[in-house]
Amino acid sequence: MDKVIGFIGLGIMGKPMAKNLLKAGYNLVVHDVNRAVVKELVEAGAEEGFSSKDIAQKSDIIITMLPNSPHVKDVILGKDGVLEGARPGTIIIDMSSIAPLVSKEVALKAKEKGVVMIDAPVSGGEPKAVQGTLAIMAGGPEDVFDQVKDILLKMGSSAILVGDIGSGNVAKLANQVIVALNIAAMSEAMVLAAKAGVDPEKVYNAIRGGLAGSTVLDAKVPMVLNGNFKPGFRIELHIKDLMNALDTAHEVGVPMPLSSQVMEFMQALKVEGEAGNDHGGLIRFYERLAGVEVRKNHGG
């Protein structure tokens, strides 16, 4: 554990992930535009890095956990970025959910400087980030993945190498498509129950043990029933992932009729100022269409 890990991006997901690495005994240098969260991590035992370049100069392995493709390109390739400070042999683990083509582009530029990169996006939202039980899907050279797998498993309960660089993000896009369509299906079903005058909580308990049961159902229905749309994963981030999924699908020749529909439902909520809500808040689109709310003890 003598290797120093740099961690850039301490948001909803990054902060608990970094804390789990500290708890595991790793030496951590952290950086984020939000100084308050940097201070919190320093108080927990991390060292402060003053720029992406500074992080790279102090680290053997650099983890980035950022909102989208432009942020990753800026942090790694930009002025005072990771590649300006990284030594040959440094490993970058980009755990952001970005476009697979951008992962490939950034990895190619890193390789020119003798720096190797893997993409390793995650699934599980804030609760699993806190618990250290994320599902991690990686793309990149197998020997590099083997070097960092133990680190990944301090943040997740599983870490699977899917294929070459960019493959992790393809797997993540597949994940996000399934999650979005699950939330939409849950929303239609629960709104149907409420409008038909049947207690949606009882419907949920009746169906969750059968074929309709899912991780999404168990994670989101209790939140909806309590009217809790505090984000574990924001609608605006799911819009970003679906945009990347649709772009990637169109590049390779895959029609995505259901995903494009759900994307538009989320866009409608964004227009209404709800982009910062949890993606389980997609149900509010259906509730407004039907003129009913799915809440505890609500019979319609």
The residues assigned a catalytic role are 172
- In sequence order, the 6+-apart residues with CB closer than 8 A to the CB of 108 are none
Give the position of tokens 């409420």.
Answer: 194
CA distances from 92 to 102, 114, 165, 228 (A): 14, 11, 12, 36
Which of 183, 275, 295 lies closest to 228 in space, CA to CA?
A: 295
Beta strands in 61-215 (DSSP E): 61-64, 91-94, 116-119, 122-123, 134-139, 156-163
